[in-house]
Amino acid sequence: MDFISILSIFVLACFVGYYVVWSVTPALHTPLMAVTNAISSVIIVGALIAAAAAEVAGAKWLGLLGIVLASVNIFGGFAVTARMLAMYKKKEKK
């Protein structure tokens, strides 16, 4: 991918983010923060690459530590979001 394509993706994603986030109901802003936390840990991709490459020991260990940190965030973030969302209930019909 060349510079312009990747920049285009970034800029368009910023616009998508802007409109999508404004459409999030304020009642769910806390779960929004928890879930954005979880998805920003997609940075684990970089950590996986570093840990998988064996040539440089230092980079490999940094990668493995990065995997642990990002995993805490991924599992913790999605789990706590799920826990919160499960609490939002409609009125029980009597």
Partner 1 sequence: MHRLLLVTPFAAVAAFAADAVAAAVPYTTQVRAIEKIAHGPVNPWVALAYLVSGVFFILALRGLSSPATSRTGNRFGMAGMLIAVVTTLVTHVSLFNSEPCPESQSSESFGIIVDCQVDFPSHLFSFGEILVAIAIGAVIGITIARRIAMTSMPELVAAFHSLVGLAAVLVGWAAYLNPGAFGLLVGDSIGAVSKVEMGLGIAIGAITFSGSVIAFAKLSGRMSGSPILLPARHVINLGTLAAIIVLTALFAMAGPAETMPLIIALTVLAFLIGFLLIIPIGGADMPVVVSMLNSYSGWAAAAMGFTLGNTAMIITGALVGSSGAILSYIMCRAMNRSFISVIAGGFGADDSSAGGGEAKEQRPYKQGSAADAAFMLEQAEKVIIIPGYGMAVAQAQHALREMADMLEEKGVEVKYAIHPVAGRMPGHMNVLLAEAQVPYENVFELEDINSEFAQADVAFIIGANDVVNPAAKTDKSSPIYGMPVFDVDKAKQVFFIKRSMGGVGYAGVDNDVFYMDQTMMLLSDAKKMVEEIVKALD
Least distance between partner 1 and beta carbon 83 (Å): 6
Residue 22: both structure tokens together: 């404004």
Q: Which of 89, 79, 71, 68 is nearest to 31 (CA)?
A: 79
- Alpha helices, DSSP H, located in the chain: 3-22, 29-40, 44-52, 57-85
Least distance between partner 1 and beta carbon 61 (Å): 9
Least distance between partner 1 and beta carbon 93 (Å): 11
